[in-house]
Amino acid sequence: MIDFTSLSIGYNKRIIVSDLSAHISEGDSVAIIGPNGGGKSTLLKTIASILTPISGTISCKYDKSHIAYLSQLAEINTNFPITTYEFVAMGLWHKTGWFKSFAKNDKHKILHAIEAVGLLEMVNAPIKSLSGGQIQRARFARVILQDAPLILLDEPFNAIDFKTIQDLFKIISFWKKEKKTIIAVLHNYDEVKQLFEKTMVVSRKLIAYGKTEEVLVPEVINKAFQHSFFRT
């Protein structure tokens, strides 16, 4: 479904990850792990077509309109004067466009997504009044609305409370049952083991990729961090 062939990626022609070749099959759940600065988020943004490869190729079955991309929570500006309902409704942009009104069925879907993440009591609250955990719930509701076959999550559990993490786990588990392809950048290895069947270790290059129980082992992790250290 996604093929990387001799892929080199980065910013302004500065290579962050070089010569990466791998294949992700449809329905896979893949965690991307590795040291800070090793290129995990850069790879996710390249899959999302936010960044263009410097060299090599990436071939994906789905175009941008069929990819749901959840950026890091720290990148979100919540100062816009909109409600939780309006914030979540942005998940339908690919269907309605930015300026069209919602049909009755669309409104039902929006409320259903808000209810699914446990925010129904905050539906009319200003988005800037939500806590970090509530914002992340609202962002997951937007992904639910998009109903995309490919879901990309960049550090989805950072800086949020334990209860929210457990609730978001359930949503990801449901997506897996729906056979969606899920690729997530994570730091917590316990979360990786609980949710993802495959793991990709990236540290300026592909260190290892395969079944989580085979890849998430001390010798591979140590190799990734040693490679990062010697490259800085």
Q: Give the pLDDT confidence of 9-22 residue by residue, as tens digits.
A: 999 989 999 999 99
Question: Of 195, 187, 220, nearest to 206 (Cα)?
Answer: 220
Q: Give the pLDDT confidence of 40-78 residue by residue, as tens digits.
A: 999 999 999 999 999 999 999 999 889 999 999 888 888
- Mean pLDDT check: name the lowest of 20-24, 95-99, 226-230: 95-99
- pLDDT of residue 84 exceeding 60, the answer is yes
Secondary structure (H, E, C), 94-144: HHHCCCCCCCHHHHHHHHHHHHHCCCHHHCCCEHHHCCHHHHHHHHHHHHH
Please tell me whether the overall predicted TM-score, pTM, comes out greater than 0.85 for this model: yes
Distance between CA atoms of residues 232 and 230, nearest Å: 6
Distance between CA atoms of residues 165 and 173, nearest Å: 12
Q: Check residue 229 and give its pLDDT.
A: 47
Distance between CA atoms of residues 45 and 231, nearest Å: 22
Segment (H or E) for 230: helix 218-231
CATH number for the domain whose boundaries are 1-62+149-159+181-190+197-232: 3.40.50.300
